[in-house]
Structure 1
Amino acid sequence: MVRDMKDKTIDYALRATWQAVSRMYNEEASKYGATMATGFALLSMDKNKGTPSTSLGPKMGMEATSLTRTLKSMEEKGLIIRKKNPDDGRGVLIYLTDFGKEKRELSKNTVLKFNETIRQHVSEEKLDHFMEVAEIINELIQNKNIFNQTEKVENE
């Protein structure tokens, strides 16, 4: 697997790896009648205070329609309750129920187990490099330095 990845493009390695991670998390979550999106949402919510629904989408990198579906499903399963935001009548705060807090703990342990396993097989130095490369890729994309390079070079 490691040798094969060297011949692939960077975006292929990212995509293939993320799809494998996503599949793994979804398989694990399905054992508990959940999805990776549900687990991620649980981890993105404040355990005790309400979380504004508007802050969840950006925090999770999720489109509003997908988030709405996920939250609706979570509410139906009794993981969350929605209440009007007392500070903003138009806004909604999302609270974890006791059942939601229980499932959040399960999601947290799943993520910790994944991280722990990777750390057992990858040196700290390699992980630091991986994180650094991921950060650079994100910055390049956020600063629109990939496909707008000609404009940047001309301005220098």
Structure 2
Amino acid sequence: MKDKTIDYVLRSTWMSVAKMYNEQASVKGSTMATGFALISIDPETGTPSTALGPKMGMEATSLSRTLKAMEEKGLIVRSRNPEDGRSVLIHLTEYGKEMRDFSKNVVKTFDNVVKSEISEEKLSIFLEVTSRINDLVSSKKIYKKEQALVKK
């Protein structure tokens, strides 16, 4: 472990979790991205499509592709936002709500098993460390803007 970078540990752990989620989603003919989108959509009032990307940390192109696939599968419907005619609201269908419940169960099961296997103290430290890493990245404390530019 001592010669593995923090980046490697984060990436390989997330890849394992993503693979596990995709395996669970495939049982229902779905994907992790679809499950994540379902969980991110308000089941009662819907969610503006413009709010989903930032909420999920997903680029517009990937989100558009995911929403299109979800619409084709009958998980969502789009409607004009009555509060902002330029915006579209994403609503879950009844089938979408069922699949949302399935997705939430998958996430809760993972959470519960991890919490039963790892002490509260260690999980607290893990959450503190990952939060701090996120802060360092988002505040640009690791690479200054001028460092990211490649000199020609």
TM class, shorter-length: over 0.9
Deviations 1:33-78 (A, max 9, x none): 0000000000001011020000000000000000000000000100
2:150 corresponds in structure 1 to: none
Deviating 4+ runs (over 6 angstroms): none
1:127 corresponds in structure 2 to: 123
1:78 paired to 2:69: no
Letter of the 1:43 partner, please give it. Answer: I
Give the whole-Å Cα distance in 2 for the aligned partners of 1:67 and 1:97: 18
SS in 2 for 1:90: strand
1:39 paired to 2:35: yes
Judged with a 3 Å threshold, the aligned counterparts in structure 2 of structure 1 residues 148 and 48 are, in CA distance, closer, same or farther, namely same
Identity across the alignment (%): 62
Residues matched between the structures, number: 147
Letter of the 1:117 partner, please give it. Answer: V
Q: Which runs of 5+ in 1 are unaligned?
A: 152-156
SS in 2 for 1:55: helix
Give the whole-Å Cα distance in 2 for the aligned partners of 1:81 and 1:148: 42
Give the whole-Å Cα distance in 1 for the aligned partners of 2:98 and 2:3: 43
1:56 paired to 2:52: yes
CA shift, 1:22, in A, is 0.5
User: Could you tell me the TM-score, scaled by structure 1's length?
Assistant: 0.91
CA shift, 1:113, in A, is 0.2
1:140 corresponds in structure 2 to: 136
Residue number among 15, 24, 27 corresponding to 2:23 in the alignment: 27
Judged with a 3 Å threshold, the aligned counterparts in structure 2 of structure 1 residues 60 and 146 are, in CA distance, closer, same or farther, namely same
2:103 corresponds in structure 1 to: 107
Judged with a 3 Å threshold, the aligned counterparts in structure 2 of structure 1 residues 149 and 131 are, in CA distance, closer, same or farther, namely farther
Judged with a 3 Å threshold, the aligned counterparts in structure 2 of structure 1 residues 74 and 149 are, in CA distance, closer, same or farther, namely closer
User: Could you tell me the TM-score, scaled by structure 2's length?
Assistant: 0.93
CA shift, 1:147, in A, is 1.4
Q: Which runs of 5+ in 2 are unaligned?
A: 148-152
CA shift, 1:149, in A, is 9.8
Give the whole-Å Cα distance in 2 for the aligned partners of 1:150 and 1:120: 45
Superposition CA RMSD, Å: 1.5
